[in-house]
Amino acid sequence: MLPTAARCPWLAGFVAFAATTAQTLVPTAEAAHGVSTPMSPPQQRSLRVDGQRALANLRRLATFGATPDGGTTRLAFSDEDLAARAFMTGLMESAGLSVSTDDVGNLIGRRAGSDVSLPPIMLGSHIDTVPAGGSFDGQVGSIGALEVAQTLADYGITTRHPLEFVIFQNEEGGKTGSRALIGIVEPRELDVVTASGYSIGEGIRILGGDPARLAAAERDPGSIAAFLELHIEQGAILHGQGIDIGVVEGIVGIKRWDVTFEGVANHAGTTPMNARRDALLAAARFIDAVHDVASTTPGRQVATVGRIDESPGAPNVIPGLVTVSLEIRDLEMSVVDAVFEAIRARARTIASATDTSVGFESFYVSHEAPTDPQIRALVAEAAEDLGLSSLAMPSGAGHDAQSIAVLAPIGMIFVPSIDGISHSPRERSAPDAIVAGVNVLLHTLLKLDERDLGSGRASGHSARTH
């Protein structure tokens, strides 16, 4: 059953916006029948996506796995995921794309360019969600990319570069689809059971891929001209400051450690306060120190303690062993390392003061992925041309673009998340904000297509009509 405005209040805003959306240009009858006249540069600048159509498609996508609280549960490889992929396949075919599934299960729609010597520009995102998630994370970028494809078809525009529109599989479960393109999905991962109950290997088969042929899905560096991803911010900066568009500077690097404090477990009633070697006390002071170091060190780094394991875990026993997680994120790994050293120094001081010992064990590293300066400039320029405000900002969350950065220059466009809420049924972005983001995606693509990518120089060519 489709969600109604009464069951999903956020739909009401979409319906109202869609009813009043007006387009700057309307496809000519010739373009609608596959015959078109050249579009002048001023006409291209006034080109807009069909906001009503994009929002309607986003609403329709939200029905696959819709939950009564207005959210979405569409786990990778689930029946809801398969139904949503069939819907996206239909949108690709309607836009005239040649549709296929690669060996890892990514859904790909291809569109020819006018210059067969050029590698493709890739656009896309994901449509799988976390359990009890929202209806915007990944989905705005996926629908936005296909709306761009449909707009190009509507107006008979052929870009110089071929285009690939990709729906990456299992982003929420480890970015399997995009990581396979750079050859870093390890064989052991195929046996990992996902939230849908299927292993990743089983899921790849369900989607039409072949886990025995993962190498066939790999792409070579330089085989993609550039990658663009539209996404909700998943934070509160844009919404809080009233900014229309986030120009993503890069996706942060992440390092994680297990931090273990060891003291002496002892009787809670008979051990005087001044004779205790309390590992949990040391861990508590450490948690406060992490917050202090991260918030007082100049920069935009963040540090988090998100897990605590304490032993023996009895109310009448002084904790003798405590392990906590430590995660640090920043756009520069050198900053992550510097913040870590400051935190480690504080930890050693705490251990000395509490008569405990402390050790650090690294268990996760994800390197930063800076976006391309040329593409950042084009995103900001496209926003300005459209009368939209923009802000350069990092992405604190991981994205498929992080994988593709190994292969090609990347660019990301953020639209505001209302109250900064994501991975929740309360996840929202305003309809006009979404349409603005899709228009920025369209015009960034058109500007990027004019460039000799990698040279930093305008090519002097523009997209043409066929």
Comparison of pLDDT for 196 and 8, the residue scoring more: 196
Is residue 5 scored above 60 in pLDDT? no
CA nearest to 431, candidates 144, 79, 165: 144
Structure tokens, 101: 């599934």
State mean pLDDT over 230-248. 97
Q: What is the distance of C-alpha 286 from the center of its chain?
A: 31
**pLDDT for 465 beyond 50:** no
**Topology of domain 10-251+369-465, CATH:** Aminopeptidase (3.40.630)
Give pLDDT tens digits for 20-37. Answer: 443 345 454 444 444 445
Residue 30 or residue 99, greater confidence: 99
Q: Tokens standing for 155?
A: 């107006």
How many CB atoms are closer than 10 A to CB 97? 22
Residue 129 sits at the vertex; the CA angle it makes with 187 and 333, to the nearest 5 degrees, is 65
- Tell me, what's the pLDDT at 205? 97
| Minimum mean pLDDT range among 40-54, 127-141, 170-184 | 40-54
pLDDT at 367: 86
* Per-residue pLDDT at 371: 97
CA distances from 46 to 32, 42, 279, 385 (A): 18, 6, 64, 9
Residues contacting 441, CB < 8 A, separation 6+: 123, 144, 145, 148, 228, 230, 413
Helix (H, G, I), strand (E, B) or coil at 364: strand
Average pLDDT, the chain: 90
Residue 430 contacts by C-beta under 8 Å, 6 or more apart in sequence?
13, 416, 418
Question: Domain limits of the chain?
Answer: 10-251+369-465, 258-366
Question: How does residue 123 score in pLDDT terms, banded at 50, 70 and 90?
Answer: very high
pLDDT at 3: 42
Cβ(375)–Cβ(226) below 8 Å: yes
Please state, in angstroms and rounded to a whole number, the distance separating the CA atoms of residues 249 and 331: 8
| Beta strands 451-452 and 457-458, pairing class | antiparallel
State the pLDDT at residue 194.
93
For position 21, what pLDDT does the model report? 42
Sign of CA dihedral 237, 243, 244, 248: negative
Q: What is the pLDDT of residue 363?
A: 85
Look up the CATH number of domain 258-366: 3.30.70.360
**Amino acid in position 98:** S
Task: Find the helix packing angle between 51-62 and 79-94, rounded to 10°.
Answer: 160
What value does the mean pLDDT take over residues 371-393?
A: 97
DSSP H or E segment with residue 169: none
> Which amino acid appears at position 215 of this protein?
A
HSE, side-chain direction, 13 A CA sphere, residue 209? 30
pLDDT band at 461 (very low <50, low <70, confident <90, very high): very low
- From its phi and psi, is residue 222 left (phi > 0), alpha (psi between -120 and 50) or beta? left
Same fold, 10-251+369-465 and 258-366: no
Q: What is the pLDDT of residue 44?
A: 79
- Tell me, what amino acid is at 412? M
CA separation, residue 320 to residues 260, 284, 344, 387 (Å): 11, 13, 20, 60
124's tokens = 């896309």
Q: Is the pLDDT of residue 259 over 90?
A: yes
More confident residue, 3 or 407: 407
- pLDDT at position 13: 52
Pairing of strands 226-232, 121-126: parallel
Contact at 8 Å (CB) between 421 and 71? no
Greater model confidence, 27 or 379: 379
253 close to 275: Cβ distance less than 8 angstroms? no
Residue 210: Cβ within 10 Å count: 16
